[in-house]
Structure 1
């Protein structure tokens, strides 16, 4: 954070005062910030007003830092320099190659344009790699730079109907790039692809491309804590494609279900229990209309994912008993995507954490590391839970340190 603004974050402020200042500067209520870190509003008020005898412990400070979007814990503590990226994941080695490809759009495009059928096949293959590889980010990092350049070139050089088809492919390719950029120290790049995807989808006049772009953009807004914007773009996207639902194919219907669940997720992050479960039920009804074996490659929306989604809703609402029940029901769900199964296992670990079942948390995180090492390595929730376990029950600390080493926390 720059000091050029002369903001009053000098060492005279307490940790609580720093938290309050940063929260108010982001326009965030106590209720929202407390919910993001799994605490009550009264607890946060006690922290900010200095009524707690001790400052929050490191794992909670890290959650606060992520929610408030600060890069260094010294902005919260005043006396400790520790980059937050240590706990949200390091930058992937392929990040700069992906960045260069995204930024390579030329005002005077030139080169050999590949047939749209070839680009479609390459994009389908990239999605398949993303779902089947345990090191999916590494695999995508090898494919994305060339794919991005070629699809961007096609969108610039094709004309008329072919251009609109190329733009739909481009919007989807940017969505795949956003999957790579998730949990990376590249928020500027993530927003660039999210915004470009929406523009490309709108120009393509393809309802399916539009729903895909809206889904990714809503996630970007929600992950930065702008829940109103997330819900607004989500609802706008659904209104835009609703006229096409009467003759919708399976893909568009699945995207409608995925957007319905996104409303549930956003409501849960806001602590709105009624709306969260209402939208989840709407999404579940749509999932039942899909073929039993269908699995949407962009969003994972399907019948099989609804149990995992229920775990996420319960966890975000901090419903300990319900999240544990949903986790038990969905733990063995045959999710065909390795990274999505890894993400689900991390959510199950969060459910066990709400129940203070440290042994189950550690065991589930170890399973997630086995299933999808590239997912847990960059997932902020998993890294924070692992860090907390290294300071947890003495009997679990050696095992927790081994896991921490595997996911790069001790590097």
Structure 2
């Protein structure tokens, strides 16, 4: 390593404050931005980083880890002789992750086997999406299906006889990649998530299918935004380009295209909320809701889950990302989860409600809501970093009942041994 290179977070000895500064800088985040996310003055962050204030207690450390999207607690606090590291924002590697990774890295030699028909692939993808939305163990189910879907859609692209057939096969391949992106999210292989996202985006654009392009953009925007403030502009640009493609002639567009526009607008609102741009965030939410109100009351987009039922959930997320505790709690109290037909989307909404209650200092309500999330879709809750952080923080609560409830949830989420 060059003597001019900055120290890494694992180089010892590095103080806690130095580690905070290193991770903040790598996220492209200013002290003012980090302070805003934590509810402190920038001078507080400066005191932490310069060592003029001692290391805070565990709840504050967990909030710093959450703001900086730090995977492992020991990346932030160093080797303190504790138990092996705790993954915060990436869940445990799923048993089927290796098989999915292998399928994404493999290409069958020409002539190995014949691709299934487009009708078969369409039916297989539809079945996989139903499992994704309906099974409580959806990662297990789609993890078992993905290797075959990835292989078969690759074969369909390679064996297409005409340009039109190839474009249709590319749209199916892009959809398989979207399904894979749901599976690999929050697992301990971030590079695989980017590989899947980029492959799905490339296949979608080659297919020239507007719906495939829009779905790929929707997922790509999430990947960029979740990477931190340094990539918010890229998230916005991905959404802008997709909306530029899809919004013309929107009044005459089919329902699935209208819903996709609504989902993209909602994503733009979440990115604005991450920036603390209150007016822009709610403005985008209102524009998304305009689309939702055009759709039938029971409409549900099969990939993005967009429809009227999720607008309350989006409202909770916007308020939470704006760190508006009272508004987040109000949104959470009136947002109905039972009408959301997708189990993982319903569970994610419950997790966002729990974040709202936790932000509003309603810790017991947050834990109860996380129990509901786990009941709806254990796979979603187990792999969600925000749920894990709230539970870990409350295991140190001074209130015995909260501590017991959090400890039971920690066992369910695999954070503590039974």
Tell me the TM-score range normalised by the shorter chain.
over 0.9
Match of residue 58 from structure 1: 58
Of 278, 282, 289, which residue of structure 2 is paired with 1:273? 278
**Does 1:237 find its partner at 2:239?**
no
8 Å CA contact 1:62–1:87 kept in 2: the answer is: no
Match of residue 44 from structure 1: 45
The correspondence of residues 242-253 of structure 1 with structure 2, limited to 5 A, is: 242-243=247-248, 245-253=250-258
Q: Distance in 1 between matches of 2:354 and 2:39?
A: 14
8 Å CA contact 2:73–2:88 kept in 1: the answer is: no
Match of residue 201 from structure 1: 204
Match of residue 22 from structure 1: 23
Of 285, 304, 308, which residue of structure 2 is paired with 1:303? 308
How many Å apart are 1:105 and its aligned residue? 2.8
8 Å CA contact 1:290–1:302 kept in 2: the answer is: yes
Of 127, 141, 144, which residue of structure 2 is paired with 1:142? 144
How many Å apart are 1:240 and its aligned residue? 2.4
Match of residue 395 from structure 1: 401
Distance 1:122 1:371, change over 3 A: same
Match of residue 127 from structure 1: 129
Distance 1:145 1:298, change over 3 A: same
Match of residue 102 from structure 1: 104
Q: Deviations over 1:277-296 (max 9, x none)?
A: 00000000111011111001
What is the TM-score with the length of structure 2 in the denominator? 0.92
Distance 1:156 1:63, change over 3 A: farther
Q: Distance in 2 between matches of 1:29 and 1:296?
A: 38
Q: Distance in 1 between matches of 2:41 and 2:327?
A: 18
What is the TM-score with the length of structure 1 in the denominator? 0.93
Q: Distance in 1 between matches of 2:359 and 2:100?
A: 37
**Does 1:157 find its partner at 2:162?**
no
Q: Distance in 2 between matches of 1:63 and 1:56?
A: 10
Distance 1:35 1:157, change over 3 A: farther
Q: Deviations over 1:338-374 (max 9, x none)?
A: 1111111011111110111121111111111111111
How many Å apart are 1:74 and its aligned residue? 3.9
Q: Deviations over 1:259-278 (max 9, x none)?
A: 10110000011111110000
Q: SS of the residue aligned with 2:383?
A: coil
Match of residue 77 from structure 2: 77
Q: Distance in 2 between matches of 1:59 and 1:4?
A: 35
Q: Deviations over 1:235-273 (max 9, x none)?
A: 112112333535310001100111101100000111111
How many Å apart are 1:104 and its aligned residue? 1.4
How many Å apart are 1:173 and its aligned residue? 1.3
**Does 1:184 find its partner at 2:187?**
yes
How many Å apart are 1:314 and its aligned residue? 0.4
Match of residue 32 from structure 1: 33
Gaps of 5+ in 1: none
Q: Distance in 2 between matches of 1:361 and 1:255?
A: 31
Distance 1:3 1:126, change over 3 A: farther
Q: Distance in 1 between matches of 2:99 and 2:411?
A: 27
Q: SS of the residue aligned with 2:308?
A: coil
Q: SS of the residue aligned with 1:16?
A: helix
8 Å CA contact 1:167–1:203 kept in 2: the answer is: yes
Distance 1:133 1:75, change over 3 A: closer
Gaps of 5+ in 2: none
Q: Distance in 1 between matches of 2:44 and 2:290?
A: 38
The alignment of Structure 1 onto Structure 2 pairs a total of residues equal to: 409
Of 213, 217, 222, which residue of structure 2 is paired with 1:219? 222
8 Å CA contact 2:171–2:203 kept in 1: the answer is: yes
